[in-house]
Amino acid sequence: MFFLLPCLQVRTTKTMGNGVFTSEAIRAKTIIEVSPVVVMNGREREYLDQTLMHDYIFEWGDTESQCCLALGYVSIYNHSYNANCEYEMEYGDALIRIKAIRHIAKGEELFINYNGTSNNRKPLWFDAH
């Protein structure tokens, strides 16, 4: 299954490259996107980690021995520790769901916390540089 709100737009940001924005207000708890994923094993992850694709993949599975590339816009959402969206992984169905965790105003950029939960402030790989 694939679902994408028609009000979503990919636009260039001032500091983070591309980002996902909304052309309409979005209510809290709204499902924004449901995206299928391409799952890859640990060996394939080693190759991806040597490329720019490293910045666009998600750890996948309960043991995190796999990774995935989400189709749709999922890999374009930028990170914020104060995210307005969260992502949920459905391992059995091989998809990622993006959901609004608060009201999002028209024109606002949509953010996810790359750590998986909105309150997780663990430093990320790019914070170390």
Identify whether 38 is part of a domain: yes
Identify whether 7 is part of a domain: yes
Domains held by the chain: number? 1
Q: What pLDDT is stored for residue 85 in this prediction?
A: 96
Identify whether 45 is part of a domain: yes
Q: Under a CB-based contact definition with an 8 Å cutoff, are residues 99 and 88 in contact?
A: yes
Identify whether 20 is part of a domain: yes
Distance, CA of 100 to CA of 29 (rounded, Å) = 5
Pairing state between β 78-79 and 109-112: parallel
- pLDDT tens string 2-26: 899 999 999 999 988 899 999 999 9
Identify whether 128 is part of a domain: no
- Write out the residue range of the structural domain in which residue 37 sits: 3-120
Identify whether 126 is part of a domain: no
Q: Assign residue 84 the CATH number of its domain.
A: 2.170.270.10
- pLDDT tens string 58-113: 989 887 789 999 999 999 999 898 999 999 999 999 999 999 999 999 999 999 99
Identify whether 127 is part of a domain: no
Q: What pLDDT is stored for residue 72 in this prediction?
A: 93
Identify whether 70 is part of a domain: yes
pLDDT above 60: residue 127: no
